[in-house]
């Protein structure tokens, strides 16, 4: 066997190795498959049950309320447990970043944020939204690092400020480009009661330090 | 309570006159006509009433401080009358004939005292446009027998010089504020202070009702929900450890691999051919 031939064989071996490694990386980097999208969408469009019939003192079906000043009766979630992905996280009530108008995800990546303007755990309609970091450049992996591994029928538990625990069952996991995600549907206050978990995912742009996509997990009371 | 002669509410421009009615929905209105949502606010102290719409009793013993509705009413003209509970329609204490309900609007009809203490009905068109994420809309309506007032939140005036029957409104950060009503330009508190919970994505409409002279001024609230907007996005990762895209240099590696295979394969083939 000539030296030339040996060199050519070595080049082929190196080429095959390079292809294999690149292929493995490509497979490992596949986006999370979307499951249950139709069910998540149906939850949002379901008409809420009609309000209770008008109280006594009315004729026909005209609802009458006392014009008392409104009070706040929201039950904030305080703790989230997702055994399937090893998550136990403190839930903080958060709002909107005044500068960007975006969801104010807690800066500490091991904590997650509940959208305090939307429904709380007491709500009989609408989407309770909890978002958390997938990771951060400074702090590493976040509470929702493995959110994209959640699958249908996984269970999660949310503790409320009222001391009660509520269990939810995952029905959908979706991935959307941030420019296309139907946020109105996930921040809805109508439709069936549900819990929506959101984090980042998809390809990462190292220049802007942003992910392209959002991962959205939808769960219903178990 | 004095008897009031028939008043006509002019329906000019966007201003709508009102009405309410349970079983009215099918009454003589084309099916394609747009409906409006109509609420009725009772702001006349000490005077429960029956409410008639087009001659039909719609609210029985409607109490001061209560808010009825919203009703979905087809666009059209309505006759509205208030009587003392149980009294006949021709004994009405307040009447509005041919009140116009436009299509597709959200209207509140306030029965209240004028600045000089006479019962009247004022239609208000409610602003139900969306509010920004994190915001709430506060609307204050002066429907009391009282002079001009300022409305303060946390001690700071937010609306000044409001007179009967006008409204003032603003979209402000959602949350709870301590609000009071003072005589315009003074620190003389007329109503409150009261804790006002302004829920995000709602319009909270506060009516000042009653009479300063009779010292029964108070607040009545009506809330319209569903005006919320979603936040602009959910930014929740800056690390890149969970990135699923295949980075450019992996493509390069694959390309080099293919190149090596081809070149190497060609060499092997050449050498074998040469030997033959």
Sort out which chain B residues have CB atoms less than 8 A from A2's CB and list them: 271
Res. B271 pLDDT band, cuts 50 70 90 = confident
Residues A24 and A158: beta-carbon distance below 8 Å: no
Architecture field, domain A34-46+74-221: Beta Barrel (2.40)
| Contacting residues of B for A179, CB less than 8 Å apart | none
Q: Does A197 touch chain B (CB under 8 A)?
A: no
Q: Count of residues for chain B?
A: 276
E strands, chain B, are 35-43, 49-53, 56-62, 66-74, 76-83, 94-101, 106-113, 119-125, 135-142, 149-153, 156-162, 167-173, 175-183, 189-198, 203-209, 218-224
Burial label for A215, CB within 10 Å (0-12, 13-18, 19+), is buried
Domain boundary among B99, B126, B153: B126
Q: CA-nearest residue of chain A to B135?
A: A117
ipTM of model: 0.81
Q: Is residue B212 one of the residues assigned to a domain? A: yes
**A5-9, A48-52, B161-165, B221-225, range with the lowest pLDDT:** A48-52
What is the pLDDT of chain A when averaged over all its residues?
88
Q: Do A19 and B254 touch (CB under 8 A)?
A: yes
pLDDT band at B33 (very low <50, low <70, confident <90, very high): low
Do residue B11 and residue B80 come from a single domain? Answer: yes
Taking the domains of chain A in order of start, what are their residue ranges?
Answer: 34-46+74-221
Q: Which of A137, A142, A214 sits opposite B234 (nearest CB)?
A: A214
Distance, CA of A52 to CA of A120 (rounded, Å) = 20
**B175 beta partners:** B198
**Rounded-to-integer distance, Cα A129 and Cα B228, Å:** 14
- Domain coverage including residue B29: 1-126
Name the pairing type of β-strands B35-43 and A194-205: unpaired
Give the confidence band of A58 by pLDDT, cuts at 50, 70, 90.
Answer: very low
| Interface check A222 vs B, CB under 8 A | no
How many structural domains are present in chain B?
2
Q: Which of A59, A105, A72, A215 is nearest to A151 (CA)?
A: A215
Strand order in B35-43's β-sheet?
A64-66, B66-74, B35-43, B106-113, B119-125
Q: Could you tell me the CATH number of the domain that includes residue B115?
A: 2.60.40
Most confident of A20-29, A65-74, B71-80, B145-154: B145-154
Q: How far apart are CA A130 and CA B228, in angstroms?
A: 17
Same domain, B115 and B181: no
For residues B6 and B92, membership in a common domain is answered with yes
Residue A201: beta bridge partners?
Answer: A213
């Amino acid at each position: 066997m000539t030296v030339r031939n040996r060199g050519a064989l070595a080049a082929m071996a190196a080429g095959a190795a390079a292809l294999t490694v690149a292929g493995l990386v490509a497979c490992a980097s596949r986006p999370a498959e979307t499951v249950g999208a139709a069910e998540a969408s149906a939850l949002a469009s379901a008409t809420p049950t009609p309000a209770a019939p008008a109280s006594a003192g009315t004729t026909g079906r005209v609802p009458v309320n006392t014009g008392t000043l409104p009070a706040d009766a929201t039950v904030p979630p305080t703790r989230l447990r997702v055994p399937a992905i090893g998550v136990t996280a403190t839930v903080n009530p958060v709002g909107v970043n005044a500068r960007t108008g975006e969801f104010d995800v807690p800066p500490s990546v091991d904590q997650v944020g509940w959208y305090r303007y939307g429904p709380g755990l007491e709500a009989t309609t609408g989407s309770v939204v909890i978002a958390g970091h997938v990771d951060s450049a400074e702090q590493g992996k976040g509470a929702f690092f493995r959110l994209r591994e959640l699958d249908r029928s996984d269970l999660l538990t949310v503790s409320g400020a009222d001391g009660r625990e509520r269990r939810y069952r995952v029905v959908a996991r979706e991935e959307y480009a941030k420019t296309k995600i139907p946020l109105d549907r996930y921040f809805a206050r109508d439709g069936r009661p549900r819990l929506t978990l959101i984090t980042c995912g998809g390809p990462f742009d190292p220049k802007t330090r942003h992910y392209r996509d959002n991962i959205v997990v939808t769960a219903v009371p178990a | 309570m004095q008897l009031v002669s028939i008043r006509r509410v002019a329906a000019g421009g966007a201003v709508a006159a009102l009405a309410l009615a349970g079983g009215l929905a099918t009454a003589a209105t084309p099916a394609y006509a747009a409906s409006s949502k109509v609420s009725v606010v009772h702001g006349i102290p000490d005077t429960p009433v029956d409410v008639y719409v087009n001659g039909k009793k719609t609210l029985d013993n409607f109490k001061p401080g209560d808010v009825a509705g919203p009703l979905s009413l087809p666009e059209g003209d309505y006759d509205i009358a208030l009587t003392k509970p149980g009294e006949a329609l021709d004994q009405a204490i307040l009447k509005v004939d041919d009140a116009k309900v436009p299509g597709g609007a959200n209207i509140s009809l306030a029965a209240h005292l004028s600045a000089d203490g006479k019962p009247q009905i004022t239609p208000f068109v409610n602003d139900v446009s969306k509010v920004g994420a994190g915001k709430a809309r506060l609307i204050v309506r002066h429907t009391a027998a009282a002079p001009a007032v300022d409305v303060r939140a946390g001690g700071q005036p937010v609306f000044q010089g409001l007179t009967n029957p006008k409204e003032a409104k603003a979209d402000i950060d959602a949350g709870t504020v301590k609000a009071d009503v003072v005589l315009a330009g003074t620190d003389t508190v007329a109503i409150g202070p009261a804790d006002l919970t302004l829920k995000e994505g709602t319009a909270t409409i506060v009516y000042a009702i009653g009479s300063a002279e009779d010292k029964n001024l108070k607040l009545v609230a009506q809330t319209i929900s569903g005006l919320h907007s979603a936040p602009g996005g959910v930014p929740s990762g800056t690390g890149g450890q969970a990135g699923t895209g295949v980075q450019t240099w992996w493509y390069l590696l694959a390309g080099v691999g293919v190149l090596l295979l081809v070149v190497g394969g060609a060499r092997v083939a050449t050498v074998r051919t040469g030997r033959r």
